[in-house]
Amino acid sequence: MLAGALALQGDFREHLAIMESLGHRGIEVRTIEELERVDLLLIPGGESTTIGRLATEYDLIEPLRERITEGLPVFGTCAGLIFLAAATTGADQPQLGVLDVVVARNAFGRQVDSFETDLPVAGLDRPVRAVFIRAPWIEKVGSNVETLASVPGPGGTARAVLVRQGTVLAASFHPELTEDDRLHRMAAAMVGDS
């Protein structure tokens, strides 16, 4: 399997290192030709407006949207979640709109409010160590979207932070910054599902 990481901005190298440690080949994706070669796409954390702006400049928005809509498995983390989402609250930025969720950017607060927690995930036997850095949460989940993990929000209302819709997997946090590769394994397994 060839795993590609959208390498416009953010921590794409960390994602590729994990995929390579799992025995998969990895490439950085910056062109339509590179995008066409991959079996799985990883969209990293970073700055979502910058990723969207650069994807627009590189003429990648429509090719990304088409490949994902046609079933290319994709795993987006933090900014990657925002870029995949249908909409964000209070922000106007380029988005792919391939994941039926509405996301609140920086919902957990500023950089100083970043935190780590052990997060139970549906289908996994033990919690995942989740690193939240200026992280979004999901305000609204569409009917075809499965919530795999959530955290308490304001007033105790659960906020989704890990979701899956078909072959689109997205997390509010940064699993690539931990030693736990189970979510990347979950993403790789989607290649067989597509």
CB 177 within 8 A of CB 149: no
- Catalytic annotation present for 184: no
Q: Which of 178, 76, 181 is closest to 136 using CA atoms? A: 76
- CATH at residue 112: 3.40.50.880
The per-residue pLDDT for range 82-128, each reduced to its tens digit, is: 999 999 887 678 889 999 999 987 666 555 456 788 999 999 999 99
- Catalytic annotation present for 15: no
Q: Please tell me the distance from the alpha carbon of residue 108 to that of residue 98, in angstroms, as a whole number.
A: 24
The per-residue pLDDT for range 43-81, each reduced to its tens digit, is: 998 888 888 999 999 999 999 999 999 999 999 999 999
Number of structural domains, the chain? 1
The domain containing residue 21 runs over which residues? Answer: 2-193
Residue showing tokens 């100083």: 112
- Which of 78, 116, 146, 179 is an active site residue? 78
- Which of 15, 28, 70, 174 is an active site residue? 174
CA dihedral 73, 153, 119, 144 (to 10 degrees): -30
pTM of the full structure? 0.93
- The yes-or-no verdict on residue 175 having pLDDT over 90 is yes
- Which of 20, 57, 66, 176 is an active site residue? 176
Does residue 15 come out as left (phi exceeding 0), alpha (psi in the -120 to 50 range) or beta? alpha
- Catalytic annotation present for 62: no
Q: For the chain, give the mean pLDDT.
A: 90
